[in-house]
């Protein structure tokens, strides 16, 4: 494997990792109550580094809706255009809890695995 291939692979891995986490991040952003797309984006942007392109979030929201994890509703706003609000369904809340539990276990075990690398890693 060339140096370029290795760097490309690491980059792809990071993109996939971010995308994989985005689903849980969206559910977490909706935990406190309903939000529209841009609000969800702003919350994720302020709390994490998961957003690569803003375009990735809307297809994901559409998919979560298709699987019955969120529901949506158009609401008129003062800004002059309607906003599409998303809220967790009962299924979505249940799934979010299950995913969060898996994430906790996963990050704890990965944290242990990465202990030997910590001194070398630049933040």
Partner 1 sequence: MSAAGEGQRRIERYIKEVRQRLRGLREDQLHEITAELRSHILERASGGSELTIDGVSAALERLGTPEELAREYAQDEVLARVEISRTPLRLLDSLFGWATMSMAGFAVLIVTISGYFLGVVFVLVAAMKPFHPATAGLWALRDSTGDLELSVRMGAGSAPSNGHELLGWWIVPLGLVTGCGLVILATRFALWCVRMYRRSRGRPRGGEPIA
Is the CB of residue 64 less than 8 Å from the CB of residue 92?
A: yes
Site string for partner 1, 40-69 (x = CB under 8 A): -------------xxxx-xxx-xxx-xx-x
The answer to whether residue 102 forms part of the interface with partner 1 (CB under 8 A) is yes
Measured from the CB atom, is 16 or 108 closer to partner 1? 16
The count of other CB atoms within 10 Å of the CB of residue 41 is 18
Stretch that binds partner 1, among 1-9, 35-43, 107-115 (CB under 8 A): 35-43
1-9, 32-40, 106-114, 115-123 -> range binding partner 1 (CB under 8 A): 32-40
* Dihedral sign (CA 112, 113, 114, 116): positive
Q: Is 71 among the residues that bind partner 1 (CB under 8 A)?
A: no
Q: Are 47 and 60 in contact (CB under 8 A)?
A: no
Q: Give the C-alpha separation, 71 to 88, whole Å.
A: 6
């Amino acid at each position: 494997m060339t140096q370029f291939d290795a760097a490309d692979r690491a980059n792809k891995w990071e993109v996939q990792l971010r995308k994989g986490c985005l689903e849980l991040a969206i559910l977490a952003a909706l935990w406190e109550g309903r939000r529209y797309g841009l609000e969800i984006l702003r919350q994720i942007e302020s709390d994490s580094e998961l957003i690569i392109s803003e375009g990735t979030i809307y297809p994901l929201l559409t998919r979560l809706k298709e699987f019955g994890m969120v529901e949506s509703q158009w609401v008129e706003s003062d800004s002059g255009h309607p906003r599409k609000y998303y809220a967790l369904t009962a299924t979505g809340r249940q799934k979010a809890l299950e995913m969060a539990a898996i994430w906790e276990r996963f990050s704890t075990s990965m944290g242990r695995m990465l202990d030997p690398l910590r001194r070398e890693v630049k933040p």
